[in-house]
């Protein structure tokens, strides 16, 4: 259950429905996932989030699959169940193979481990890491 | 300050010094950074961590720079100051350009934001994300 | 499922039942929510938590609704599913409107985003923020 | 030290300088704090963050001080040193008294404590919290 | 649901099945829990994790039950639902009594609370804590 | 720097000074560490925290050193710099040897790693972990 009802197209106000339509058009699907239906209670936040997501995830100096892997890494580290599922699925849709998934998980686990050690040891930052 | 003294080559025991030597040889540098000097109080943990790091970060289905970007993303999300510095430096050494750094940060920030929203809304996972 | 059984009034020991009764009396309800029934395995911890909660959440320099909004913000950021649900419900019971809920979420998301950026950039604290 | 140099007005590109000017104008100060000078390496991210911050923190259903208290609560929970300092200072500037600060801290601490307990106990969400 | 299918003995490759067999032999049970069945998609990661876990959790300067309590504390603090359940069960299997469980929870909650306060106050580390 | 000035005995109000005196008496030291001097701005919170800490950390089903190790584990996982330092020092004062410290760190790192994997894989909880 969500802390707000998920809004159907009928229940959403026109501004939210316009975002739903844009999601369907841009993603070439008739499916709008639950995140957007929950956010639709606040149409300006919905629109701002969708607009920003498209800008951030567009091809650039990093390709979209690499961005999606980074998104999964953050979502896992934040312990976000929904985001871990949705961005793992998105990464697969963008070409993540099982071998890439396995390596992604190994890096996340390695980082979690050395992050904990560095924090436990309170290691001071080396001068040479300074820019 | 660290919670343990950083060990110089002289103060480290032979097993730890062997890891220091291996780090210098593999990285083609005479510098051993503070993380390893702090870990050196537990030579088996030092050796296990260094060995595993090399396996995990080696080229594979993902290239080493992509792995380093993922490492930064996890370190930032865990709030690890040392790791954020050391892996940002490592990513630069492996070819991260300012444009790639900027996009990395934008993705991390976007994920942090939608993670928070999905958690606040307790959005249920869509059936179609299931494998 | 919980890691301990939830205790009914019958199963709880007298010290825990006294807290249940106080919860019902103070909240003017006959319902004791699951958190307290799980905590009841440790009656002193149950009593200490309930006592402290009342002191902390009482009207003071901040009004109870504002305190509840802060409670939701912490719970979301900690990724606590139960607490996100229970304190969102409590905030509504204390007068949080849908517009207030939407703004609460927007602030939480904004903070999550700039927290991540400040950490990724390791921005040094400005002198003028010092007291 | 930051992971990027903080940019002075002279070093920043015109798009970033325009944001600095807007910050000075809107805040009626000649001071631009370090966060913005670090973000200035990515002028579009700088502009997007500044624009969004103004929208989110503007008076609405919640007043700006309440929003700032929520911002502090998220920043503390995320362990963001910079943000804890900057938003505590911002809250003071918007009228947070010592008594309000004390109550803010007491609520954050209480929530941290019950979040941990609810997670340790894996308390199932009560039906009645559902919307 | 998991982000990957849980592998049965039949579906797992021989390297993964060998780890399953070792788990059954070492734990003297015919049950292999879901964590290992999910990890089995990456046999080297499965083997490395299982090997390391045995080394780390073996009797040493700390006894296995104390190690398990520490494991629970980390898992709760990271908000890991699976790990909180599995390591609470493991701690019970190693002799954690209800009284020990109650004290474990009280310490976790106390630490969560003072961690939040120390971070909110940004308390500088005392000189005398330095080694 | 802290977000509030650290209060000397002279600057603290009588209720806070009474807590300082009790800390000195119970710990048989003339030193009051920074955490308490920062908390002293809110004497009731100071007193409540000190009282609760004594109850929670007293010998019981778990001995005080084990409790201190758990405290360190939580503090590290929460990324609390101050608490990592102060509780590592406290654990040493209560008898933590270098070997115990090394094992504590190894367990924390192992848990951080498997927590990340379980979250990334979204492993469903086994029925048999249910109580």
Residues of D in contact with B116 (CB under 8 A): 74
What is the mean predicted confidence (pLDDT) over F95-105?
98
The domain C60-122 belongs to what CATH superfamily? Answer: AhpD-like (1.20.1290.10)
CA–CA dist F105, C16 (Å, integer): 37
Q: What is the pLDDT of residues D66-111, one digit of tens each?
A: 999 999 999 999 999 999 999 999 999 999 999 999 999 999 999 9
Q: What is the pLDDT of residues D88-100, one digit of tens each?
A: 999 999 999 999 9
Residues of A in contact with D4 (CB under 8 A): 131
Residue pointed to by tokens 């999910």: E38
- C-alpha radius of gyration, chain D, whole number: 18
CA-CA-CA-CA torsion sign (A35, A36, A38, A44): positive
Q: What is the mean pLDDT of chain A?
A: 97
Residues of F in contact with A88 (CB under 8 A): 120
Across C36-62, b (16+ Cβ under 10 Å) vs e yields bbbbbbbbebbbbbbebbeebbeeeeb
CA–CA dist B18, B46 (Å, integer): 10
Question: What's the CATH architecture for C1-58?
Answer: Up-down Bundle (1.20)
Backbone phi, psi, residue C128, to 5°? -70, -10
Inter-chain CB proximity D131 and A52 less than 8 Å? no
Under 8 Å between Cβ of E70 and F69: yes
Under 8 Å between Cβ of F41 and E126: no
Under 8 Å between Cβ of D61 and C104: no
Inter-chain CB proximity F78 and E111 less than 8 Å? yes
Spell out the domain ranges in chain E: 1-58, 60-122
Q: Is the pLDDT of residue B94 over 90?
A: yes
Q: What is the pLDDT of residues E46-101, one digit of tens each?
A: 999 999 999 999 999 999 999 999 999 999 999 999 999 999 999 999 999 999 99
CA–CA dist F8, B101 (Å, integer): 45
Q: What element of type H or E holds C81?
A: helix C81-93
Please tell me which chains touch D, using 3 or more CB pairs under 8 Å as the contact test: A, B, C, E, F
Q: What is the pLDDT of residues F115-128, one digit of tens each?
A: 999 999 999 999 99
**E24: closest CA of chain A, how far (Å):** 24
Q: Is the pLDDT of residue B16 over 90?
A: yes
Find the angle CA(F95)-CA(F100)-CA(F105) to the nearest 5 degrees.
125
Nearest CB among A103, A113, A120 relative to B62 is that of A103
Nearest CB among A85, A106, A116 relative to E45 is that of A106
Q: Is the pLDDT of residue A59 over 80?
A: yes
The whole-number pLDDT of residue C4 equals: 97
Residue of chain B whose alpha carbon sits nearest to that of C75: B120
Inter-chain CB proximity A48 and D48 less than 8 Å? no
Burial (CB count within 10 angstroms: exposed 0-12, middle 13-18, buried 19+), residue E24? middle
The whole-number pLDDT of residue F1 equals: 82
CA–CA dist E62, E94 (Å, integer): 14
Name the band, by pLDDT with cuts 50, 70 and 90, for residue A130.
Answer: confident
The whole-number pLDDT of residue E47 equals: 97
Name every residue in F having a CB less than 8 A away from some CB of B. Answer: 79, 84-85, 88, 98, 101-102, 105-106, 109, 116
Under 8 Å between Cβ of E19 and E50: yes
Structure tokens at A9: 């197209």
Question: What's the CATH architecture for B59-123?
Answer: Up-down Bundle (1.20)
Q: What is the pLDDT of residues B33-83, one digit of tens each?
A: 999 999 999 999 999 999 999 999 999 999 999 999 999 999 999 999 999
Residues of C in contact with F131 (CB under 8 A): 1-5
CA–CA dist A19, A29 (Å, integer): 14
The whole-number pLDDT of residue C104 equals: 98
Which residue out of F42, F70, F73 would a mutagenesis test of the D interface target, given it has the greatest number of D Cβ atoms within 10 Å? F42
How many Cβ atoms are within 10 Å of E60's Cβ, its own excluded? Answer: 15
Backbone phi, psi, residue A93, to 5°? -60, -25
Residues of F in contact with B74 (CB under 8 A): 116
What is the mean predicted confidence (pLDDT) over D11-19?
98
CA–CA dist F27, F31 (Å, integer): 9
CA–CA dist F43, A87 (Å, integer): 47
Burial (CB count within 10 angstroms: exposed 0-12, middle 13-18, buried 19+), residue C93? exposed
The whole-number pLDDT of residue B130 equals: 80
Question: What's the CATH architecture for A59-122?
Answer: Up-down Bundle (1.20)
**B14: closest CA of chain E, how far (Å):** 21
Where helices occur in B1-131 by DSSP H, the ranges are: 14-27, 34-39, 43-57, 64-77, 81-93, 98-121
Eight-state DSSP code of residue F127: G
**D110: closest CA of chain E, how far (Å):** 7
How many beta-carbon pairs under 8 angstroms link C with F?
Answer: 20
The whole-number pLDDT of residue E121 equals: 98
CA–CA dist F65, C49 (Å, integer): 24
Nearest CB among B84, B98, B102 relative to D45 is that of B102
**Long-range CB contact pairs, C5-13, < 8 A, 24+:** C5/F131, C6/C34, C6/C37, C6/C38, C6/D123, C6/D124, C7/C37, C7/C38, C7/C40, C7/C41, C8/C37, C12/C37, C12/C40, C12/C43, C13/C40, C13/C43
The whole-number pLDDT of residue A1 equals: 82
Structure tokens at E22: 């070792």
Q: Is the pLDDT of residue E131 over 80?
A: no
The whole-number pLDDT of residue F121 equals: 98
How many Cβ atoms are within 10 Å of B100's Cβ, its own excluded? Answer: 18
The whole-number pLDDT of residue B1 equals: 82
Name the band, by pLDDT with cuts 50, 70 and 90, for residue E1.
Answer: confident
CA atoms within 13 A on the CB side of D14: 0
Residues of B in contact with C118 (CB under 8 A): none
Query: What CATH number has the domain spanning F60-131?
Result: 1.20.1290.10
Give the residue ranges of chain C where pLDDT is below 70: 131
**The two domains D1-58 and D60-122 share their CATH topology (first three levels equal):** yes
Residues of A in contact with D1 (CB under 8 A): 125, 130-131
The whole-number pLDDT of residue D130 equals: 80
Across F101-131, b (16+ Cβ under 10 Å) vs e yields bbbbbbbbbbbbbbbbbbbbbbbebbeebee
How many beta-carbon pairs under 8 angstroms link A with C?
Answer: 20
Q: What is the pLDDT of residues A1-58, one digit of tens each?
A: 899 999 999 999 999 999 999 999 999 999 999 999 999 999 999 999 999 999 999 9
């Amino acid at each position: 259950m969500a802390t707000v009802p998920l809004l159907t197209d009928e229940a959403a106000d026109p501004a939210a429905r316009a975002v739903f339509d844009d999601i369907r058009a841009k993603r070439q699907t008739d499916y709008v996932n639950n995140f957007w239906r929950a956010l639709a209670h606040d149409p300006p936040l919905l629109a701002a989030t969708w607009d920003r997501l498209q800008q951030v995830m567009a091809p650039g100096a990093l390709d979209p699959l690499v961005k999606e892997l980074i998104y999964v890494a953050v979502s896992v580290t934040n312990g976000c169940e929904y985001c871990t599922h949705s961005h793992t699925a998105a990464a697969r849709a963008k070409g993540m193979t099982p071998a890439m998934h396995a390596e992604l998980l190994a890096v996340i686990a390695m980082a979690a481990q050395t992050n904990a050690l560095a924090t436990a040891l309170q290691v001071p930052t080396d001068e040479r890491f300074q820019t």
